[in-house]
Amino acid sequence: MATEGVNPRTPAPPAGSARRAIVGRLSWGLADQAASSLTNFAVGIHVARSLGLAAFGAFSLAWVTYGVVLSVSRGLATDPLMVRFSGVSDVSWRGAVARSSGTALGVGAAIGAACLVVGSALGGPVGTAFACLGVMLPGLLLQDAWRYAFFAAGTGRKAFVNDLVWGLALVPAMVVAARVGSVAAFVLAWGASATVAAACGCLQSGIRPRSSGAREWLREHRDLGYRYLVENVSNSGAGQLRAYGLGAIVGVSAVGVVRGAELLLGPFLAVLMGLSLVTVAEAARVLRRSPHRLGTFCLLLGGGQAAAALLWGAALLLVPDRAGELVLGGVWHSASELIVPATLGVAGAGLGTGAAAGLRALGAARRSLRSQLFASTCYVGGGLGGAAVAGTIGSAWGVAAATVCGSAVWWLHLRSALRRRRQDSVPEVRTT
């Protein structure tokens, strides 16, 4: 019996050159995410300092919603691309990218229209933020699709340049938004600069997104795409449900406090997200070339991220109040109380990403879906249960405990998948 989605093994290159190639691709992933996360960090800090806590909470709700929509786009468009078109021929890659980027653009247009309608109905700062997000979603999702396309091809430097373009375009956009001084202005500035980078991606790749190819793409990769859609949405949707529930239980200001704590962990989260851009592609390459090394690769990946998160959290505890206020303004005092539980939660997530990369490389979509659904259920339960018991700090501790439990389940499923693959690869011995 064949294992789900496993690619045929290809000859392994010399160990030294393979390690150098992996380090090079991971380095570009880190550099790209550093540029992207610094951009997001700067936006968050600027908005937190320019607007009040309640307005920052409204902006954060739009931000969290964008994360859910991004998960939809990745599940349907770019995750199948990373699994099945990493390290393939240029002709295959270009055809796949045209259809996957067209799918991302279509997702942005469809959900953007829905956000525009919902935002107009809601009204107020939150409704305005949602309506503006709806207008900007196509450009935001297309920009993200180019990043994944470049990493699938092993050309992370192009993704890095694309994110630099976004960052440079943000500077004048943020200046204008600050003068206007509204949530809508900041959402529009953020999305418009991403659209500039999306247009640059078309020039970098020489590929025009084919929205007409979206149906074909979804049909060809429905075995992975729909499972990854549910998996991704359950992940980011859990964050959104927690944010909405926290706002209902404690208040919208509590959402701003949680977002402030996330900003404090921003530099490390940049590392975590940067690695996530390339880990699935790298795990797929390890599987094709040296299948027996996949488990070790995933363990080193997850363990290294968890250790780095703990070190960063320890460093945050040493930051003096004056420096914290300089960065986050009035949000600092409330956000600093969440450093310890937020750090533990990120460490648990980092440990789990190693196993997640292995399951996706194996194409074990059923196992990864089960793991993610369990983790997401724990996340929402812990976050809202903790909020009901002890407010914002209780929500943070509930999420930390849930993340560690979810990570354990990811690793149990990876262990089972690797054992199953080894059993399937053993040739059957017949006796007469």
Give pLDDT tens digits for 241-257. 888 888 888 877 787 78
Please, is 14 exposed, middle or buried when counting C-beta atoms within 10 Å of its C-beta (0-12, 13-18, 19+)? exposed
Structure tokens at 403: 């993340």
> 130-147: per-residue pLDDT in tens?
999 999 999 999 999 999
Contacts by residues 374-377 (CB-CB < 8 Å, ≥ 24 positions apart): 374/406, 374/409, 375/235, 375/238, 375/402, 375/403, 375/405, 375/406, 375/407, 375/409, 375/410, 376/234, 376/235, 376/237, 376/238, 376/406, 377/238
**CA-based torsion, 81, 84, 86, 89: positive or negative:** negative
Radius of gyration of the chain (CA): 21
Q: Give the residue with greater pLDDT, 31 vs 322.
A: 322
> 358-389: per-residue pLDDT in tens?
888 887 878 988 998 999 999 999 999 988 99
Task: Determine the average pLDDT of the residues in 219-244.
Answer: 81
Q: Is a pLDDT exceeding 70 seen at residue 1?
A: no
Predicted TM-score (pTM) of the model is: 0.67
Q: Is a pLDDT exceeding 70 seen at residue 24?
A: no
The per-residue pLDDT for 431 is 43
Q: How far is CA 306 from CA 88, 145, 312, 318, 427, in A?
A: 32, 27, 10, 19, 38
> 48-105: per-residue pLDDT in tens?
777 766 677 778 788 878 888 988 999 899 988 988 887 778 899 999 999 999 999 9
Q: Is a pLDDT exceeding 80 seen at residue 341?
A: yes
